[in-house]
Structure 1
């Protein structure tokens, strides 16, 4: 077999190392970072939505590694990384508090509207069952009734409870009911009988509701 002699010998080690040059200690070992990547630290833009997406897709043990990897990809320095993590945590906590406040306000508003509608329905029932009570005194009668006793466990109005509550108030203050043409000992009473019961009721109304006599 004829031997072939090359004029320029091949550097086998050069190709074996994929063309990598030996480390001469002159600062060339920069882990493959390009000058553009090294100079990007001064204008790094952190995408917090991207960070949230990275963290949400991993468990708690992998979150730190995932966040660190993402920030390294952006060319973030150690100081900037700490700052970015703190800003992310602060933003996440602020968003959480904002959502909690929004939810609490919504629940409070729903509760207020529900109570308002419930009181309207109770007033309708009181007006329906308060037979003989004059229209001008009906609002005062409604205010003297304990409304918490008119509802069942499901928050529904119990009509029997409404009737009982009206009867209880009227029994304590009989003058809530008009007594026109009442018969006393075989005679028909017309007008007032001279008693002070009406005055007593007026005093109670004035005291509790600020009604001027």
Structure 2
């Protein structure tokens, strides 16, 4: 219920733009500042849950910590050009940075569904892991909807020029199931490693985007 309330991002029009149905009393308008606050809060929670699950899987299953993040295969989102470092992020136009955020969220739809399916087979995580991977998957989809609403608000305020709905899905690498349990487990662990990294990028990009668009926050 708290997640649903946090993600009640409302409409994207500037005027009029009530956050309730026509005829309801107590309607209020949602500013671009509030919309950013809501998606940033959501992204922070998403990254926290992903980090906790990653740590749990590491503690239970990783046979050698030297394997951490050292797979020969890059993350499946490697084809999405993501700026690193504050100075580089600040050089990216707002519309392009918003596109990067949405492309990352889109790219994780199928891999997270795969992870949710696979993690249920591990005894130690049959319940808790299954629940958390489902929560992460659902949160990513809600997050995408929220960022799209922020983008529409930015467009209505003439901060960006184009609607960002319907971006094409990035081409993912082959994420088919492995033939042996050990290899499959490592693949799932690498997915969590990549998602934790990407979710951290998303929340940082959102914070920097908000600071750029709402400079009175002095962040």
TM-score interval, smaller chain? under 0.3
Bigger radius of gyration, 1 or 2?
1
TM-score by length of 1: 0.25
TM-score by length of 2: 0.24
